[in-house]
Amino acid sequence: VIRCRAAVAWAVGKPLSVEEVEVAPPKAGEVRIKIVATGICRTDDHLLEGCFPSADFPVIPGHEGAGIVESVGEGVTSVKPGDKVIPLCLPHCGECNFCLNPESNYCLKSHISEPQNLLPDKTSRFTCKGKQIHHFLWVSTFAEYTVVPEYAVAKIDAAAPLDKVCLLGCGFSTGYGAAINTAKVKPGSTCAVFGLGGVGLSVVMGCKAAGASRIIAVDINKDKFAKAKELGATDCVSPRDFKKPIQEVLTDMTGHGVDYSFEAIGHTDTMTAALASCNLNTGVCVMVGELPSGSVIPMDPMLLLSGRTWKGTLLGGWKVRDTIPKLVSSYLEKKFNSDLLITHTLPIAKVNEGFELLRAGKSIRSVLLF
């Protein structure tokens, strides 16, 4: 058993508390990882707000981390102690119908199919003050040591800087992949990106990498416009600057609407606006933002009847266990610069300050260090 620090959420809506926790050794098929760095993602904030119906408190949040394998359980062959790894919030068992489908990046072990608040044997490896602490998406990267199933770990290049590539565990990969894999943005096309947080700005980077000729960034926070332009946006607009709906503004700017639109906020009204802003026949709209469970989006069926495509994306469509190591290699080869998304680096003791920066719109990505 290892005693270490972790940021524990004891109840919905309460600040995180940095505690000493006990982390049990890995069982068969499990890996114990020393987390070096972890990003703060909006999904962690959704957890703290109680938007995850399958999550149980107390819980250790965090799902965008990178670390080093400390020990492995019986039967683990893909990683060994000392390997640099990224824990995967979307597992890849390699055996279910989805994993065996080359066009799918889903896995039946995912939290959408079964809760990931305990490890697969329905027990926790965390205790604090004599109480069982739940896992989050199996990864719980806000703990200095965490235990995950082997099929939720990807071994990465030993040269990778963990305080930078942790973003590839969720935010960057989700946004970048939404453009490249899910929408399959074509060279010369026009795109609109709603929401300029870490994920939305990664969508901008993906659209640019795919060769889009025009990338319109949409946000009510104009402080994010400079970063959006640095990453490839050609235009930046705030819905608050117009009397008419933003979808009409985008249609006027482009003639018939954009070829591809992306919603990276997680609001029902912006989901509808994003759909209506892509052209009525061949337009593709990708839902990237996370809506609270049970949300309902009112929409005019004519928006789809005319031919538009409306899609969702899970972690950018990457088959993560295979492709996260390749993305890390691309990062090391400087094929993209995800470092530009990191605006703050904080010690784990300042985790609540990191969430305050996120909620105030003052950060793109804060990285916590142990």
Cα separation, 4 vs 18, in Å, equals 10
Whether pLDDT at 179 is above 90:
yes
- Asked whether the beta carbons of 183 and 253 are under 8 A apart, the reply is no
Whether pLDDT at 162 is above 90:
yes
Phi/psi for 296 (5° steps) reads -125, 135
Q: 39 pLDDT band (50/70/90 cuts)?
A: very high
pLDDT recorded at residue 173: 97
Greatest Cα pair distance in the chain: 63
Whether pLDDT at 219 is above 90:
yes
Q: 248 pLDDT band (50/70/90 cuts)?
A: very high
Its pTM stands at 0.96
The first and second tokens of residue 214, run together, are 């025009």
- Asked whether the beta carbons of 139 and 88 are under 8 A apart, the reply is yes
Q: 292 pLDDT band (50/70/90 cuts)?
A: confident
State the average pLDDT over residues 229-234: 98
Cα dihedral sign, 59-60-61-63 = negative
Cα dihedral sign, 363-297-235-336 = positive
pLDDT recorded at residue 298: 87
Whether pLDDT at 53 is above 80:
no
pLDDT recorded at residue 156: 98
Q: Which residues contact 345 (CB under 8 A, 6 or more apart)?
A: 163, 366, 367, 369
Cα–Cα distances (Å) from 356 to 40, 146, 226, 292, 366, in that order, read 11, 25, 21, 20, 10
The first and second tokens of residue 166, run together, are 């942790």
Q: What is the pLDDT of residues 58-71, one digit of tens each?
A: 999 999 999 999 99
Cα separation, 271 vs 275, in Å, equals 6
State the average pLDDT over residues 221-241: 97
Complete domains list, the chain, with CATH? 2-169+338-369 (3.90.180.10), 174-313 (3.40.50.720)
Chain Cα centroid distance, residue 256: 31
The chain-wide mean pLDDT, for the chain, equals 96
> Nearest CA to 203 among 297, 35, 32, 317?
317
Higher pLDDT, 344 or 114: 344
State the average pLDDT over residues 166-181: 97
Percent above pLDDT 70 for the chain = 100
Phi/psi for 99 (5° steps) reads -65, -35
Whether pLDDT at 129 is above 90:
yes
Q: 10 pLDDT band (50/70/90 cuts)?
A: very high
Whether pLDDT at 293 is above 80:
no
DSSP H or E run through 202: helix 198-209
Whether pLDDT at 122 is above 80:
yes
Q: What is the pLDDT of residues 312-334, one digit of tens each?
A: 999 999 999 999 999 999 999 99
- Asked whether the beta carbons of 68 and 156 are under 8 A apart, the reply is no
Cα–Cα distances (Å) from 359 to 199, 247, 312, in that order, read 15, 26, 24
Percent above pLDDT 90 for the chain = 95
- Asked whether the beta carbons of 196 and 340 are under 8 A apart, the reply is no
